[in-house]
Amino acid sequence: MTELMNTPIAVITEEHPYAMDYFRSVGVSVADSELTPREIIDALNDEVLEDKGFSKEQISSHFIEFLKQAAMLKSTAERSVHSVTIIGGKDKSGTPENFELTLNPGDILCIVGTTGSGKSRLLADIECFAQKDTPTERTVMVNGKILAGEDRFRLENKLVAQLSQNMNFVVDMSVGEFIAMHASSRMIPDIEATVEAVITCANELAGETFTYETALTQLSGGQSRALMIADTAMLSSSPIVLIDEIENAGVDRRKALELLVKKEKIVLMSTHDPILALMGNRRLAIHNGGVKKIIETDKDELAGLEVLQSVDAKLMQLRTMLRAGEKISIDMKKFFQL
């Protein structure tokens, strides 16, 4: 894109209509659209540059990077996901799975089974958009088509965001700086408001709150997971979210799922938690590395979910009391209405 520095702005905006937004964002007025970016930047005097806090070289490199990032975001929008289809392969014994399942934005698919049954393998097949080239020989299609290598293995603007069981930061920056950096890379217009919204959302999910200034390395496991769920829902361009056992993360499970569904994400989640399993539209029962059953969540199960959530709310009250150092000397049978 460096050749664009010597191309008139009027020509650049035909292919990149957002090009002028960069100069507006740094407070540079462009009076003549026939000027090239190089000419616009070279015309800036030292006093103006000092006021902006940039050198001419920095403005030039930032402009090129801005166009690259905008082009990638446009590419992501053009690659919008309307459906994900999983076609069964085989289990560890070679027995065919014989199923085909299609998911749409806003769907939650829960994956259940014992430890070692193959839940993580299914998530891995989704993440790499398997094409009968994994041990399970499953096939995963997007919008009814097999993905080409470029989209399947791209590192930037990935279609899949994965939230693993253990998430710890090692980068030396604050929570606010981290979210601001991500928002900037997405070219969000109001970065300050976006950072505040993401942190507020994360604190609603976490058991203990944190601030803009909190260092990433000081976040607990639950706080880290809450931050990444909020970031994934509100900033990530990835339309598919894979979650591995969110029940162990110390976050509000219901709010987390509701947030992701509200943002039209396709959510696939492995879990041992009956509450989470019943919150999904469907669930896959895994055994011996293969999908043995696909279960639709029906009215009877939803009625049971209400009871489970009521019990869970009571347990949360007890956890809060324990954390506050209170003595739990209550009639448990009466407390749980047994």
Could you tell me the CATH number of the domain that includes residue 235? 3.40.50.300
In a shared domain, residues 93 and 73: no
In a shared domain, residues 314 and 169: yes
CA 201-194-231 angle, 5° bins:
50
39 in a structural domain: yes
Domain that holds residue 26: 2-78
> CA dist 70 to 22, 38, 67, 225, 244, Å?
10, 19, 5, 28, 31
176 in a structural domain: yes
In a shared domain, residues 10 and 136: no
Q: Averaged over 15-39, what is the pLDDT?
A: 77
Please write the tens of the pLDDT for every residue from 30-52.
878 788 888 888 888 877 777 76
160 in a structural domain: yes
217 in a structural domain: yes
* pLDDT score, position 97: 95
* pLDDT score, position 161: 84
* pLDDT score, position 78: 45
What band does 169 get if pLDDT is binned at 50, 70 and 90?
A: low
CA torsion, ordered 170, 215, 224, 69, to nearest 10 deg:
-70
In a shared domain, residues 251 and 196: yes
147: left (phi over 0), alpha (psi -120 to 50) or beta: beta
331 in a structural domain: no
Residues 318/328, Cβ–Cβ less than 8 Å: yes
282-298 residues labelled b (16+ CB within 10 A) or e (exposed): ebbbbeebbbeeeeebe
Q: Which of 62, 78, 94 is the last residue of a domain?
A: 78
Tell me, what amino acid is at 320?
T
What lies within 8 Å, CB to CB, of 105 at 6+ separation is 81, 82, 239, 264, 265, 266
Mean residue pLDDT across the chain: 84
* pLDDT over threshold 60, residue 76: no
* pLDDT over threshold 70, residue 75: no
Please tell me the least confidently modeled range out of 45-49, 98-102, 164-168, 208-212. Answer: 164-168
Please tell me the least confidently modeled range out of 74-78, 173-177, 203-207, 280-284. Answer: 74-78
In a shared domain, residues 58 and 95: no
Going by the DSSP 8-state scheme, the letter that residue 121 receives in this structure is H
* pLDDT over threshold 50, residue 102: yes
In a shared domain, residues 231 and 162: yes
Q: Which of 18, 47, 78 is the last residue of a domain?
A: 78
CA 254-258-264 angle, 5° bins:
155
In a shared domain, residues 157 and 226: yes
Please write the tens of the pLDDT for every residue from 189-244.
678 888 999 999 999 888 788 999 999 888 888 888 888 888 888 888 788 988 88
Q: Give the number of other Cβ atoms within 10 Å of residue 330's Cβ.
A: 12
Q: Which of 18, 53, 78 is the last residue of a domain?
A: 78
Domain count, the chain: 2
* pLDDT score, position 143: 92
* pLDDT over threshold 50, residue 77: no
In a shared domain, residues 130 and 66: no
In a shared domain, residues 105 and 59: no
What band does 156 get if pLDDT is binned at 50, 70 and 90?
A: low
Model confidence, pTM: 0.69
Q: Strand, helix or coil at 237?
A: coil
Instruction: Of 109, 106, 101, give the one whose Cα is nearest residue 82.
Output: 106
Going by the DSSP 8-state scheme, the letter that residue 110 receives in this structure is E
Q: Averaged over 132-161, what is the pLDDT?
A: 84
Q: Give the number of other Cβ atoms within 10 Å of residue 66's Cβ.
A: 20
Instruction: Write out the E strands in 26-148.
Output: 84-87, 100-103, 108-112, 139-142
